């Protein structure tokens, strides 16, 4: 069977992927105050990549994102754990989070919390795992 | 607050993650895994000493006091168990170096091994029922992967059964947690204990307790052990040894914790039920152990007998019985790992696990043979090895509680255990030596070290029980008086 | 640690060095010479105790082992234990001496042999000296273990292994039951010390008293090879002969006797004890003697004779226990003599049976066979051995001038006395005692004669092929000669032994009667009933021996299938077979079966608990109201779930599950859980994609081709599970006893700087859950990766190799 | 009044969902079912939106967007599978 | 309360209209004979319906709570962008997986093309 | 509402259990995911339903629904996802290697 052309879906997918990426990052960042968070953000991000897999083929995507996602996951977990360990430096219980308000030049009054760092770890772990799984199965013939 | 408490959990995680990053450097992985296990061992011993001198150690993670945050609690029971865990894991790791093979090493054997330890230690230390679920899952998922690691036919086949049953038990666990939460509105063990004590353990609460018992029974292999023989005979020796030593013990620990701290108000119902299940487990396990002529099967059914025996002590719910259960628990962790390693070595040397094909190994491997003999005696609780005191106290506990049938079954099954394990010894090690030295498939070089350590341990624990009695007594004291635990966690009335 | 402890531990400690000695020295010097030192030293050291102990003193020493639980290694030396210890060390020394000649230093693994032997010696000494019942148990089991090892010393032989296994199973079974008995005893008396137990008064009022007694007796009976546990002893003869002489006639099998004697003050005076001990003893006596006649193997003959003699001693102890029924007084002394006879016979038995075993070993060693049918006419070839056999055999038969005669006479006295007792229903059954004793004695006489004459008399038919049969070297004969001398000496000077050894031992068995006994053992009491009985034995025994051939055939009428041995073998076989059948029956390997068990268990147990404890509480009062659209959604969910159930195509099922997922997340929205809805959605989608990815390979759903019962079971179980979950959920919902702790988290902005409470809980309040959860995820990722790659990489490698 | 209208809309929507379920169950082809699933997703978007208005909460807008995204991805995945039997393609199949 | 009535009513009416569209499309989905005709109902009117509802919601919050939700706006855009494409891809796959046309169908333009494709050697 | 939800959960459990008890691996997996849904709904039901607004502090609600079960459920969903993925791939792998998806043929007696 001849390869059917995928022009419509590919062009829409490109736009969609951008939107999803943006949204995923938004979900992730605003997770502390609105629905979302590291896990959902990460998985949304992963689903964007899945969309890429679906519309393009696995080699193209892999060429463009040349990462070992298992390592991403590992680094994610490491970040999360090390964030927790950081609290040991201040002699507070493991995983104690801190937050504060800072005045940054562009954003104005901003709240920064170490929980966000923890969430980054979560997100990375989720992204890494989801993509590892998908790519492993996708690879297998 | 004591931040040391968290280290046994996170050291393996950190090292494991680093190993994932350096995937291709096997030598580094070996060193790192050894270092991390050693570090965990040191920390656990330190913690144990600290618990002894300063009382129960707690860590309110994130600084959120119980019951709102997750609290890690190291009472003496947990301290003893994590210490034993780290020792056993260390030995299995040493054994794995020689036997596991580069293929598995390449595919994250060491990280997964470490994560398994994290899960096990986490389960022992956590003071929160939902966190217990999470730690269980860490342990289980690690075991899922380890059991299927290698992807041989038998592994795949058995791991399907193993995973399916464990997924179901996880669901049940969640269901039980949901019920408990609906009724009590809290998750912290200590807080649960208080709240349950406040309203008493009515019919529904007892039902929920039994639901928890079923969940943990599935994990511990108490009566619902059908997944166990297959699952434990599938993976390579080092893995099945660590499974045999640790996985069921976590379930047992959970039963002990739940039924001494939270649901201790109706022992005539819940504990008697545990006793009945334990009796059935022992009988079925012993029956399975004597039935076969296959080393792996004999050993796995012996795991089941051990579970039943420990829980017989728990069922008695007397100080003596608990003491016995605790001694036997520690003993069982060590000796099960030992006997699995030994059995695995026999299989490794000869390439078969069928006893009818084995004969006369002792001529070429005397050390192995004698260590097997000692382990076999220890397994069936022959004095003065480590199983004896546990057996003695468990029997005494059941007698004191009036469950004479339970004690009798326990003692009788230990005879069957002896029969089954001596069958292995006599057939594999005695008899004419059929294999010539040149035909040997492998050597025991390097394998004897971990086995030797464990053998020495079982002897030392038997003769030198006095050295740990203070720890065990302390653990039992806490178990029999939930208020110590509650006070330590909730700080209602801080201990002097 | 006192010298006494060192005494017990010395064999163990020395055992550690034996392998080294063997390695370094065995080429030049037989390892036995080094080992010999230990029992010699022990014997002489123990010998020094005699004056002190015989004057009625005792000695104790305590070494803390588990002081926390009052399990201490307390040594208690009194007459009884000293007598046993002397036998152990004395015979031990002789056996080691004998083994030096018996065990070839070139062919045998002597280091193993002597390690086991020393281990046994230490264990046995520990056993008799322990005051603490659990320490006693420890040594008790150690003797079983070392006996196991010694029986299977020639581990290549099938029969050795069989015998070893049998002895271990039976003795450890007994040990376990004894342990149970000890535990009960300690619960009653609240002490672990035998001394305290003995002095406790009101033990027998407790309901556990009789069970404890019976359990302990089982232990003693198994060890002392009492009927019906005796079957292990003949098979234990697979051990090297020095071992048979030492363990299986002189010492280890006496452990049960020791225990019974030791605990007589505790249990004595009870009818159950009396009947069990004396009754089983007499049965064993009869059983052993009758069977001994039948044997063709010399060692087997001796084994059965040992069983029979042990039964004799046991029954004496039982009869003597009647003394305690009466308390202090003349009445009791009459019966207390039985105890004295038991102790005396025990010593005698150790001497003559030890020497007999050694002689049999010599015969075996020199001729290469122990079969009576092949042997004969050795008298001229081996005169010294013959003499020794006559001494031992006549002593065994109870003939003068050997020590056996004395104790046999006392035995007859005891049974006659007992028959006259009017306690414990003896007035009706007592007459059996003398009859059994007499019949057994006849048989004892017969087998003794067989041993002596069939082996040595007759025509010298026996010819050994490879070498000339001749007398054994003097070193080998030395030990039996010493014992033979003792046999004679004890006949002539029994009162010396009585004064220094037997009476102190007797006093420790019956401490309440101590002090006033003065038994003069003498060979001549006039023409009394006892002497008549002995003469009857000789006359009748001789006749029967003469016409042995005539009635020997009677034995063949007894079918093999009714022997205890047969039952034992059958029992083990069928145990294995039935076990295998049962286990295979339920361990089918079919996951569905396991799940059925599990679910059925849940239904029965949880349902039962709900029903039994009245846990069902239905209470809608706190329920939120139901909107029509919510009900509609729920209906839609049920529809999609049912679709999965009935769909025949995998696509349909997956789509339906997907729809279910969407609807669940809509429900989450309706329940005000945005985070959950989000998560559910993403997870659902990714899972669906995974399903589709795997579908490429998995087969299309087939119609379930199953039998109707299968489906009905499944349906019943699944409905049961659903019902149980629903009922418990409804009840739990109806019993909200407390407010949730979650109001605390509503301050999350202040506490954690987060407006999204759920997220705050996840990353902060319960951050560790999340940390471990991503660990789980990572592992699952690794798992998927390894599952797929490990195999394919392996395959690739193989392909590359081809 | 407003509330009544909104609840009425929700009930309408539920009815549509049930209608879609009918299609999902009935089939007859896999394509029909996927189509129904797609429609279900979109109806749920509507449902969430109306519900947000009903309880005057802005907390669910993320859900709306995400259902849109995921329903799209799901549909594409199903379509791929139906069309080619493969979900993720490779240029050079082994 | 009375002053806010117009503010509320318009968006809610939009929502109601959207719901009716959705309902109609659902009926279409139920009643129409084959997958291709149903796709009209599924894609066109459902999209219209959801757009009405979303716009209604958007305006409701804009007018009532003065809340401009970028997410909702993005959602409207996204649904508008993807719903037709999804429908297109789906129908194409349906056709290629040989979903049958309804009996009432009169024309099948792509039949030949596909047949030719199928008969080509791969 | 809670009562209705309990019934729904019961139905989902029944259906899931039935599917798990069949022989086909794929049905078993689908069964676990249906039971998984049942468990999720049960957890949220047990926290009490619709007691207030969504647990977002920015929304000016007066009361909030119980947030703790939601957080627990989130964790549970993720873990469930992880195990399901693993199980799915395992069954797939097992099918490839063992050549069957019928659990009855996975007894594993023959080679022991």
Residues B434 and B322 in one domain: yes
Tell me, yes or no, if D76 comes closer than 8 A to chain C by beta carbon: no
Q: Over chain C, what is the mean pLDDT?
A: 84
Contact status, residue B450 vs residue B341, Cβ threshold 8 Å: yes
Residues of B in contact with F106 (CB under 8 A): 157, 160-161
Phi, psi values for residue C76, rounded to 5°: -130, 115
Q: Identify the helix (H) or strand (E) that includes residue C63.
A: strand C59-66
Q: Which of A27, A36, A51 minimises the CB distance to D73?
A: A51
Substitution target from C647, C674, C698, C792 for chain D, most D beta carbons within 10 A: C674
Residue B436 clears pLDDT 70, i.e. is over it: no
- pLDDT band per the 50, 70, 90 thresholds, residue C179: very high
Structural domain that includes position C579: 560-587
Q: What subunits make at least 3 CB pairs under 8 angstroms with E?
A: A, D
B470, part of any domain: no
Tell me, yes or no, if C686 comes closer than 8 A to chain A by beta carbon: yes
pLDDT digits (tens, 9 = 90+) for C436-483: 888 888 888 888 888 888 877 766 665 555 667 777 788 888 888 888
- Residue C518: its pLDDT value, please? 66
Q: Which residue of A has its CA nearest to C768?
A: A95
- Residue A12: its pLDDT value, please? 84
- Residue A1: its pLDDT value, please? 44
Are C759 and A32 within 8 A, CB to CB?
Answer: yes
Q: Which of A35, A129, A137 minimises the CB distance to F56?
A: A35
Residues B210 and B284 in one domain: no
Are E74 and A12 within 8 A, CB to CB?
Answer: no
Q: Which residue of D has its CA nearest to F57?
A: D59
Residues C480 and C565 in one domain: no
Any contact of C with E, at least 3 CB pairs below 8 A? Answer: no
D54, part of any domain: yes
Which residues partner with A100 through β-bridges?
Answer: A112
pLDDT digits (tens, 9 = 90+) for B46-72: 999 999 888 888 888 888 887 888 889
- Residue F9: its pLDDT value, please? 93
B255, part of any domain: yes
Are F53 and D59 within 8 A, CB to CB?
Answer: yes
Tell me, yes or no, if F79 comes closer than 8 A to chain A by beta carbon: no
Q: Quick one: average pLDDT of B260-269?
A: 88
Ranked by mean pLDDT, which of A87-91, C186-190, C750-754, E41-45 comes out on top? C186-190
Size of interface A-C (CB pairs under 8 A): 147
Residues B355 and B278 in one domain: yes
Task: Name the minimum distance, in Å, from the CA of F36 to any CA of chain B.
Answer: 7
Residue C541 vs residue F109, higher pLDDT: C541
Residue F30 clears pLDDT 50, i.e. is over it: yes
Tell me, yes or no, if D55 comes closer than 8 A to chain F by beta carbon: yes
Q: C 2-31 residues with CB below 8 A of B?
A: none
- Fold of the domain built from segment(s) F2-102: Helix Hairpins (1.10.287)
Any contact of E with B, at least 3 CB pairs below 8 A? Answer: no
- Residue B442: its pLDDT value, please? 62
Q: Quick one: average pLDDT of B272-299?
A: 90
Substitution target from E43, E69, E70, E71 for chain A, most A beta carbons within 10 A: E71
> How many whole angstroms separate alpha carbon C447 and alpha carbon C283?
17
Are F86 and B178 within 8 A, CB to CB?
Answer: no
- pLDDT band per the 50, 70, 90 thresholds, residue C797: very low
Residues of A in contact with F85 (CB under 8 A): 133
Residues of F in contact with A33 (CB under 8 A): 56-58
Residues B61 and B204 in one domain: yes
pLDDT digits (tens, 9 = 90+) for C664-676: 999 888 888 888 8
- Residue C517: its pLDDT value, please? 63
Residues of F in contact with D60 (CB under 8 A): 54
Q: Which of E26, E79, E93 minimises the CB distance to D68?
A: E79
* CA-to-CA dists, residue C364 to B321, B457, C151, C358, C378, angstroms: 53, 44, 17, 10, 12
Number of domains chain E is built from: 1
Q: What subunits make at least 3 CB pairs under 8 angstroms with D?
A: A, C, E, F
Q: Quick one: average pLDDT of C153-172?
A: 88
- Residue E117: its pLDDT value, please? 63
Contact status, residue B206 vs residue B167, Cβ threshold 8 Å: no
B474, part of any domain: no
Q: Identify the helix (H) or strand (E) that includes residue A113.
A: strand A108-113
- pLDDT band per the 50, 70, 90 thresholds, residue B253: very high
Residue B496 clears pLDDT 50, i.e. is over it: no
- Residue C799: its pLDDT value, please? 35
Structural domain that includes position E71: 2-119
- Residue B164: its pLDDT value, please? 92
Task: Give the Cα-Cα-Cα angle C289, C290, C291 (nearest 5 degrees).
Answer: 90
- Residue B330: its pLDDT value, please? 92
- Residue A104: its pLDDT value, please? 64
* DSSP character at residue C17: H
Question: Which range (B108-112, B324-328, C458-462, D47-51) has the least confidence?
Answer: C458-462
Residues C565 and C485 in one domain: no
Number of domains chain B is built from: 2
- Residue C78: its pLDDT value, please? 87
pLDDT digits (tens, 9 = 90+) for E9-51: 888 888 888 888 888 888 888 888 887 888 887 777 888 888 8
Q: Which residue of D has its CA nearest to F56?
A: D59
B471, part of any domain: no
Question: Which range (B247-256, B415-424, C303-312, E74-83) has the least confidence?
Answer: E74-83
Q: Quick one: average pLDDT of C715-727?
A: 92
Any contact of B with D, at least 3 CB pairs below 8 A? Answer: no
Residue F110 clears pLDDT 60, i.e. is over it: no
- Residue B326: its pLDDT value, please? 92
Are C659 and D48 within 8 A, CB to CB?
Answer: no
As for the ipTM of the complex, it is 0.93
Residue B11 vs residue A95, higher pLDDT: B11
Q: Which residue of F has its CA nearest to D54?
A: F53
Q: Quick one: average pLDDT of C598-617?
A: 88
Q: What secondary structure, in 3-state letters, does chain B show?
A: CCHHHHHHHHHHHHHHHHHHHCCCCHHHHHHHHHHHHHHHHHHHHHHHHHHHHHCCEEEEHHHCCCCCCCEEEECHHHHHHHHHHHHHHHHHHHHHHHHCCHHHHHCCHHHHHHHHHHHHHHHHHECEHHHHHHHHHHHHHHHHHHHHCCCCHHHHHHHHHHHHHHHHHHHHHHHHHHHHHHHHCCCEHHHHHHHHHHHCCCHHHHHHHHHHHHHHHHHHCCCCCCCHHHHHHCCCHHHHHHHHHHHHHHHHHHHHHHHHHHCCCCCCCHHHHHHHHHHHHHHHHHHHHHHCCEHHHHHHHHHHHHHHHHHHHHHHCCHHHHHHHHHHHHHHHHHHHHHHHHHHHHHHHHCCCEHHHCCCHHHCCHHHHHHHHHHHHHHCCCCCCCHHHHHHHHHHHHHHCCCHHHHHHHHHHHHHHHHHHHHHHHHHCCCCCCCCHHHCCCCCCCCHHHHHHHHHHHHHHHHCHHHHHHHHHHHHHHHHCHHHHHHHHHCCCCCC
Residues B250 and B221 in one domain: yes
Residues of A in contact with E69 (CB under 8 A): none
Residue F12 clears pLDDT 90, i.e. is over it: yes
pLDDT digits (tens, 9 = 90+) for C183-204: 998 888 888 888 888 887 777 7
- pLDDT band per the 50, 70, 90 thresholds, residue C800: very low
C94, part of any domain: no
Q: Which residue of C has its CA nearest to D81?
A: C692
Q: Which of A4, A8, A23 minimises the CB distance to E74?
A: A23
Share of chain B above pLDDT 90, in %: 44
> How many whole angstroms separate alpha carbon A127 and alpha carbon A48?
10
Tell me, yes or no, if F32 comes closer than 8 A to chain C by beta carbon: no
Substitution target from F89, F91, F95 for chain A, most A beta carbons within 10 A: F89
Residues of C in contact with D80 (CB under 8 A): 692
Substitution target from F54, F90, F96 for chain C, most C beta carbons within 10 A: F54
Residue B233 clears pLDDT 50, i.e. is over it: yes
Are B141 and F111 within 8 A, CB to CB?
Answer: no
Q: Which of B20, B287, B411 minimises the CB distance to C582?
A: B287
Residues C429 and C574 in one domain: no
- Residue B307: its pLDDT value, please? 92
Q: Over chain B, what is the mean pLDDT?
A: 88
Any contact of A with D, at least 3 CB pairs below 8 A? Answer: yes
Share of chain B above pLDDT 70, in %: 97
Are A81 and B13 within 8 A, CB to CB?
Answer: yes
B301, part of any domain: yes
Q: Which of C640, C677, C689 minimises the CB distance to D77?
A: C689
Are D37 and C659 within 8 A, CB to CB?
Answer: yes
Tell me, yes or no, if A94 comes closer than 8 A to chain B by beta carbon: yes
Question: Which range (B48-62, C700-714, D35-49) has the least confidence?
Answer: C700-714
Structural domain that includes position D55: 2-84
Structural domain that includes position B93: 1-263+479-496
Residues of F in contact with C655 (CB under 8 A): none
Tell me, yes or no, if D70 comes closer than 8 A to chain F by beta carbon: no
Residue C752 vs residue B192, higher pLDDT: B192
pLDDT digits (tens, 9 = 90+) for C139-149: 999 999 999 99
- Residue E3: its pLDDT value, please? 47
Tell me, yes or no, if F103 comes closer than 8 A to chain B by beta carbon: yes
Q: Over chain E, what is the mean pLDDT?
A: 78
Residue F108 clears pLDDT 80, i.e. is over it: no
Q: Other C-beta atoms within 10 Å of B495: how many?
A: 10
Residues of D in contact with C633 (CB under 8 A): 14, 17
Residues B258 and B271 in one domain: no
Residues B255 and B403 in one domain: no
Substitution target from A123, A137, A141 for chain F, most F beta carbons within 10 A: A137
Structure tokens at C615: 């846990």
Residue C421 clears pLDDT 80, i.e. is over it: no
Residues of B in contact with A97 (CB under 8 A): 62
């Amino acid at each position: 069977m001849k390869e059917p052309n995928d022009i419509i879906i590919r062009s829409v997918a490109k736009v969609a992927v951008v939107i999803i990426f943006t949204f995923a990052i938004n979900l992730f960042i605003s997770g502390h105050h609105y629905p979302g968070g590291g896990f959902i953000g990460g998985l949304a991000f992963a689903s964007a990549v899945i969309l890429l897999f679906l519309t393009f083929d696995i080699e193209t995507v892999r060429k463009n994102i040349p990462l070992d996602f298992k390592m991403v996951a590992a680094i994610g977990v490491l970040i999360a754990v090390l964030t927790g360990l950081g609290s040991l430096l201040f002699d507070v219980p493991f995983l104690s989070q801190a937050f504060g308000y800072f005045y940054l030049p562009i954003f104005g009054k901003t709240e920064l919390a170490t929980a966000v760092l923890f969430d980054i770890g979560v997100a990375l772990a989720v992204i890494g795992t989801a993509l590892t799984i998908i790519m492993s199965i996708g690879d297998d013939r | 607050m004591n931040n040391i408490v968290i280290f046994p959990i996170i050291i393996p995680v950190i090292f494991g993650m680093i190993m994932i990053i350096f995937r291709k450097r096997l030598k580094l992985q070996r060193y790192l895994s050894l270092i991390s296990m050693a570090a965990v061992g040191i920390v656990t011993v330190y913690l144990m000493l600290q618990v002894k001198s300063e009382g129960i150690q707690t860590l309110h993670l994130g600084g959120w006091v119980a019951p709102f945050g997750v609290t890690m609690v190291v009472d003496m029971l947990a301290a003893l168990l994590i210490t034993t865990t780290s020792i056993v894991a260390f030995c299995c790791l040493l054994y794995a170096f020689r036997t596991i093979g580069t293929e598995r090493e390449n595919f994250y054997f060491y990280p997964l091994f470490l994560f398994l330890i994290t899960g096990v230690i986490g389960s022992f230390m956590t003071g929160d029922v939902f966190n217990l679920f999470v730690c269980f899952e860490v342990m289980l998922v690690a075991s899922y992967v380890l059991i299927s690691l290698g992807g041989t036919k038998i592994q795949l086949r058995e791991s399907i059964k193993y995973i399916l049953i464990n997924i179901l038990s996880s669901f049940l666990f969640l269901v039980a947690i949901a019920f408990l939460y609906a009724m009590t509105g809290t998750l912290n063990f200590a807080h649960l204990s208080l709240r349950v004590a406040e309203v008493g353990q009515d019919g529904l609460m007892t039902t929920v307790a039994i639901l928890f018992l079923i969940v943990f029974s599935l994990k511990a292999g108490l009566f619902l052990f059908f997944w166990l023989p297959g699952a434990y005979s599938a993976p390579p020796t080092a893995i099945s040894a660590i499974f045999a030593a640790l996985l069921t013990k976590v379930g047992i620990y959970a039963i002990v914790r739940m039924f001494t701290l939270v649901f201790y108000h109706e022992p005539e119902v819940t504990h008697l039920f545990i006793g009945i299940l334990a009796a059935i487990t022992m009988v079925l396990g012993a029956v399975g152990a004597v039935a076969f002529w296959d080393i792996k099967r004999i050993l796995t059914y012996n795991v089941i007998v051990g579970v039943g025996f420990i829980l017989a002590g728990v069922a008695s719910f007397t100080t003596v019985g608990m003491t016995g259960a605790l001694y036997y628990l520690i003993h069982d962790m060590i000796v099960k790992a030992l006997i699995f390693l030994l059995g695995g070595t026999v299989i490794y040397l000869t390439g078969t696990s069928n006893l009818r094909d084995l004969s006369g190994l002792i001529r070429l491997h005397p050390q192995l043979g004698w260590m097997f003999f000692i382990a076999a005696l220890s397994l069936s609780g022959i004095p003065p090895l480590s199983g004896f005191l546990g057996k003695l106290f468990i029997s005494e506990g059941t007698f004191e509680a009036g469950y004479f049938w339970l004690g009798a079954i326990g003692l009788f099954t230990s005879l069957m255990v002896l029969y089954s394990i001596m069958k292995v010894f006599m057939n594999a090690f005695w008899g004419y030596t059929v294999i010539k030295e040149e035909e040997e498939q492998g050597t025991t070089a390097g394998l004897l070290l971990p086995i030797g350590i464990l053998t020495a341990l079982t002897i030392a624990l038997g003769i030198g029980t006095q050295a740990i009695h203070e720890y065990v007594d302390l653990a039992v004291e806490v178990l029999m008086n939930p208020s110590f635990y509650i006070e330590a966690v909730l700080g209602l009335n801080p201990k002097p | 640690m006192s010298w006494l402890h060192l005494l017990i531990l010395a064999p163990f400690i020395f055992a550690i060095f034996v392998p080294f000695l063997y390695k370094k020295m065995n080429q030049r010097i037989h390892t036995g010479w080094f080992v010999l030192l230990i029992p010699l030293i022990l014997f002489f050291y123990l010998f020094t105790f005699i004056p002190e102990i015989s004057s009625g003193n005792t000695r104790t020493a305590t070494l803390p082992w588990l002081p926390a639980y009052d399990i201490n290694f307390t040594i208690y030396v009194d007459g009884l234990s000293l007598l046993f210890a002397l036998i152990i060390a004395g015979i031990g020394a002789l056996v080691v001496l004998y083994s030096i000649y018996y065990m070839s230093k070139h062919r045998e693994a002597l280091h193993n042999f002597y390690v086991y032997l020393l281990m046994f010696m230490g264990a046995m000494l520990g056993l008799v000296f322990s005051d603490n019942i659990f320490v006693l148990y420890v040594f008790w089991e150690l003797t079983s273990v070392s006996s196991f090892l010694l029986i299977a010393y020639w581990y290549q032989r099938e029969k050795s292994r069989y015998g070893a296994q049998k002895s271990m199973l039976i003795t450890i079974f007994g040990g376990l039951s004894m342990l149970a008995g000890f535990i009960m005893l300690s619960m009653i008396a609240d002490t672990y010390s035998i001394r305290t137990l003995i002095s406790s008064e009101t033990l027998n009022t407790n309901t556990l008293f009789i069970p404890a007694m019976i359990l302990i007796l089982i232990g003693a009976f198994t060890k002392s090879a009492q009927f019906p546990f005796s079957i292990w002893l003949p098979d234990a003869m697979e051990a090297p002969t020095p071992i048979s002489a030492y363990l299986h006639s002189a010492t280890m099998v006496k452990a049960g006797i020791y225990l019974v004697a030791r605990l007589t003050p505790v249990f004595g005076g009870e009818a159950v004890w009396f009947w069990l001990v004396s009754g089983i003893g007499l049965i064993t006596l009869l059983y052993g003697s009758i069977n001994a006649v039948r044997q063709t193997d010399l060692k087997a003959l001796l084994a059965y004779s040992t069983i029979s003699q042990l039964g004799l001693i046991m029954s004496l102890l039982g009869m003597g226990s009647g003394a305690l029924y009466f308390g202090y007084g003349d009445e009791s002394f009459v019966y207390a003599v039985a105890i004295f006879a038991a102790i005396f016979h025990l010593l005698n038995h150790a001497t003559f049976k030890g020497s007999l075993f050694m002689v049999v070993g010599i015969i075996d060693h020199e001729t290469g066979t122990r079969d009576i049918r092949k042997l004969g006419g050795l008298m001229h070839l081996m005169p010294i051995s013959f003499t020794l056999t006559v001494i031992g055999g006549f002593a065994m038969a109870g003939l003068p001038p050997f020590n056996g005669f004395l104790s046999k006479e006392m035995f007859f006295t005891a049974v006659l006395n007992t028959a006259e007792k009017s306690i414990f229903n003896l007035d009706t059954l007592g007459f059996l005692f003398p009859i059994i004793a007499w019949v057994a004695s006849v048989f004892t006489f017969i087998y003794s004669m067989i041993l002596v004459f069939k082996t040595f008399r007759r025509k010298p038919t026996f010819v050994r092929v490879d070498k000339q049969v001749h007398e054994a070297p003097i070193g080998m004969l030395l030990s039996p000669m010493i014992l033979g001398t003792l046999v004679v000496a004890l006949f002539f000077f029994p009162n010396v032994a009585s004064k220094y050894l037997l009476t102190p031992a007797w006093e420790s068995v019956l401490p309440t009667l101590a002090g006033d006994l003065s038994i003069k053992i003498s060979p001549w009491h006039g023409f009394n009933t006892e002497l008549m009985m002995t003469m009857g034995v000789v006359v009748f025994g001789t006749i029967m021996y003469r016409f042995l051939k005539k009635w020997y055939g009677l034995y063949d009428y007894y079918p093999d299938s009714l022997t205890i041995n047969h039952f034992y073998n059958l029992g083990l076989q069928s145990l294995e077979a039935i076990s295998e059948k049962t286990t295979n029956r339920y361990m089918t390997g079919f996951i569905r079966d396991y799940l059925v068990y599990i679910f059925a268990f849940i239904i029965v147990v949880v349902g039962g608990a709900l029903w039994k404890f009245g846990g069902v509480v239905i209470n809608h009062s706190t329920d939120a109201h139901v909107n029509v659209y919510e009900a509609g959604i729920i209906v839609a969910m049920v529809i999609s779930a049912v679709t999965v159930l009935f769909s025949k195509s995998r696509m349909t099922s997956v789509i339906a599950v997907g729809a279910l997922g969407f609807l669940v997340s809509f429900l989450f929205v309706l329940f005000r859980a945005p985070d959950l809805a989000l998560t559910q959605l993403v997870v659902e989608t990714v899972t669906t994609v995974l399903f589709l990815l795997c579908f490429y390979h998995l087969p299309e759903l087939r119609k379930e081709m199953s039998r109707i019962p299968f489906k009905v079971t499944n349906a019943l179980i699944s409905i049961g599970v659903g019902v149980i979950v629903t009922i418990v959920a409804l009840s739990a919902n109806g019993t909200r006893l407390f407010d949730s702790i979650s109001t605390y988290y509503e301050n999350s902005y202040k506490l954690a700087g987060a407006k999204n409470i759920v997220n705050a809980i996840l990353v902060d309040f319960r951050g560790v859950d999340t940390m471990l959860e991503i660990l789980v995820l990572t592992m699952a990722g690794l798992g998927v990766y390894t599952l797929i790659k490990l195999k394919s990489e392996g395959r690739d490698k193989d392909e590359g190799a081809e | 009044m407003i509330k009544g209208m909104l609840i009425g809309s929700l009930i309408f929507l539920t009815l549509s969902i049930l209608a879609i379920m009918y299609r999902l169950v009935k089939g007859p082809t896999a394509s029909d079912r996927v189509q129904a699933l797609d429609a279900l997703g979109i109806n749920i978007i509507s449902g969430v939106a109306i519900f947000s208005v009903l309880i005057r909460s802005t907390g669910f807008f993320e859900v709306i967007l995400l259902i849109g995204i995921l329903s799209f991805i799901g549909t594409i995945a199903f379509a791929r599978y139906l069309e080619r039997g493969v979900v993720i393609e490779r240029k050079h199949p082994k | 309360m009375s002053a806010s009535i117009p503010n509320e009513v318009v968006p809610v009416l939009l929502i109601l209209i959207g719901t009716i569209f959705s309902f109609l499309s659902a009926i279409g989905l139920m009643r129409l004979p084959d997958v291709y005709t149903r796709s009209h109902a599924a894609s066109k009117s459902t999209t219209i319906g959801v757009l009405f509802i979303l716009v209604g919601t958007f305006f409701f919050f804009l007018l009532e709570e003065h809340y401009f939700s970028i997410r909702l706006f993005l959602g409207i855009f996204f649904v508008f962008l993807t719903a037709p494409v999804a429908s297109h891809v789906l129908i194409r796959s349906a056709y290629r997986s040989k979903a049958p046309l309804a009996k009432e169908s009169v024309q099948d333009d792509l039949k030949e093309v596909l047949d030719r494709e199928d008969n080509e050697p791969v | 509402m809670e009562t209705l939800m309990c019934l729904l959960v019961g139905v989902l459990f029944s259906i899931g259990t039935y599917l798990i008890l069949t022989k086909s691996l794929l049905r078993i997996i689908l069964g676990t995911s249906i039971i998984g849904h049942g468990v999720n709904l049960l957890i949220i039901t047990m926290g009490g339903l619709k007691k207030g607004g969504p647990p977002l502090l920015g929304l000016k609600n007066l009361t909030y629904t119980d947030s703790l079960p939601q957080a627990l459920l989130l964790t549970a969903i993720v873990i469930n996802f992880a195990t399901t993925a693993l199980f799915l791939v395992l069954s797939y792998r097992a099918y490839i290697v063992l050549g069957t998806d019928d659990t009855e043929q996975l007894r594993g007696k023959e080679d022991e």
